[in-house]
Structure 1
Amino acid sequence: MEDKATQGLDTASLMEKVLYEVKRVVVGQDHFLERVMVAILAQGHLLVEGVPGLAKTLTVNTLARTVRGSFKRIQFTPDLLPADLIGTRMYNQKSGEFSTVLGPVFTNLLLADEINRAPAKVQSALLEVMQERQVTIAGETHKVPSPFLVMATQNPIETEGTYPLPEAQVDRFMMKVLIDYPSEEEEFVIASRVTGVATQVAAVASIEQLRDIQAECRRVYVDPGIMQYAVKVVSATRRPDRYGLGDMARYMTFGASPRATINLIEGSRALAFLRGRSYVLPEDLIDLVPDVLRHRLVLSYEALSDGLTADQLIMRILKAIPAPDRPLDTHVRVEATA
């Protein structure tokens, strides 16, 4: 037990060092940074919506340097081809043979910048690699490095020359995070740092250590009552009438898939781990519900005409379904070590 406690303290200290290094460069955006860390620990992918200039690229690049991971950025454009992402077969005239050239998806942290600027066939090229962590080129399967995280960005202020993401593509993102402009104080610090001496980021962890942390995060205990609560919340998006929300059925064409339930549980496990606990509390899961569900709800025209958003419907669901009682600390620790 003492070894486990010591390991937990070492892990927490390492995660604090990683966040400290990132925040030496990135100012503010605490919610966004926390969700990035949750996605890494839970081995999920992140869809980020925000106007340009909010440090989305800088965050992922800095994080890759702190964990000695590889980082690649793909600028999505209408003329992009699937082979530009995953790779292709090239003919060598000297040898008379074909060789495989791997694309930029073979990295630890991949930034898909303005993903909605490429057509659906290019967006769909990420389907296999996001789910299976592998790419198939000319019948041959190639594994991507581990860990692997895709962070895609969308610009909410422009619609010209953009393509909506297919529902199958959107569902593979663990969370959709909305980020806003910094405060005046934060913007002053940003201007001071950018116009001053460049900050050197130190590598405080390795990819091997990150894999170990991911494995340790999987051991965080989730009470069956909290799992059942996640099932009810997701089920309410598909059959709201079962939970006294029959008037909401006309606002949602499609609800969230079972993948949302899995992401809620895995994400709340990672969030509890970041908060220094070996067990999940209801508030961990509730904090993640909007980010996990908002991109999975397909709203009807009636909802759009009434000016309703996915977040507003999610809040109604959370109010209608009572959260379970907080599991006792002693009970959790006994269950976790059983």
Structure 2
Amino acid sequence: MPIKIPDDLPASRTLEAEGVVVMRETDAVRQDIRPLRIGLLNLMPNKISTETQFARLIGASPLQVELTLVRITDHTPRHTAAEHMLAFYQPWEDVKSERFDGFIITGAPVERMPFEAVSYWDEMRRILDWTQTHVHRGLTICWAAQAALHHFHGMPKHDLDAKAFGIFRHRSLLPSSPYLRGFSDDFTIPVSRWTEVRSADVPTGSGLRTLAESDQTGLCLLEDPGHHMLHMLNHVEYDTTSLADEYHRDAAIDPAMPLPVDYFPDDDPTRRPENRWRSHAHLLFSNWINDVYQTTPFDMARVGLDRDKG
């Protein structure tokens, strides 16, 4: 089955060119199928690029998925046209009465700020609490994962001496997890952050399960069964050139900016990098969506109420 997205969303052209089956809204209404409702709270500056990255991974599922784009209610993005936001995004305050089978919250370029100093922190906390009553399964990425771990478990984030930046090897620690089904014992994932959360800060009795970590960059993937969430602390969704774009942007400001680790061939930033994480990105999202599909109630009114406690 295809992914259902707004007819004129720019991501649709990219996805169709890549062979992802996209269902137009006008066609979806003809089918008597209950699609999975997935919400995406997009906190990243480049909205269109991020929409495409996540729609690509969600759209690879054999299930029909309806993607709803959500934004912080009173925050005005500086890097995306107002017309795009008005056409394709709904403020969280307008969707908070609705229910979602899955809800994804992206990273944000605010990780070096204290949580409480982020202008939309109060709404972010309300959204996280709302996921406990109106969402069946949640998935948080990078800063959003740190925010959720802080909100639900009181875990701090720590500043790094230097940016963790590049492609790093990770280990699968719990192969029996449904989220790691089919994963290699060792796999690579893009990392781009100035802060970290640490294993030593995981509260005793929290129920948090570490699924993947790196010797170099620490925690990567945690399952939070008590809150029905999966926390990915790195950027498994990144495109092939995402780190290159970040590097060239930052190097234009600071020529001493270190190269991303193990990314450019022969550490030559003029050469196109190879994508060595795409398969595991698709696998992780496929496993997550499969878990959502297998456990969510058919009746949307029961979403958030009938979740299992495992």
User: Is TM more than 0.5 here?
Assistant: no
Task: Considering fraction of residues, name the structure with more helix.
Answer: 1
| TM-score for the superposition, normalised by structure 2 | 0.29
Bigger Rg, which one: 1
Q: Which has the higher contact order (CA 8 A, sep 6+)?
A: 1
Task: Considering fraction of residues, name the structure with more strand.
Answer: 2
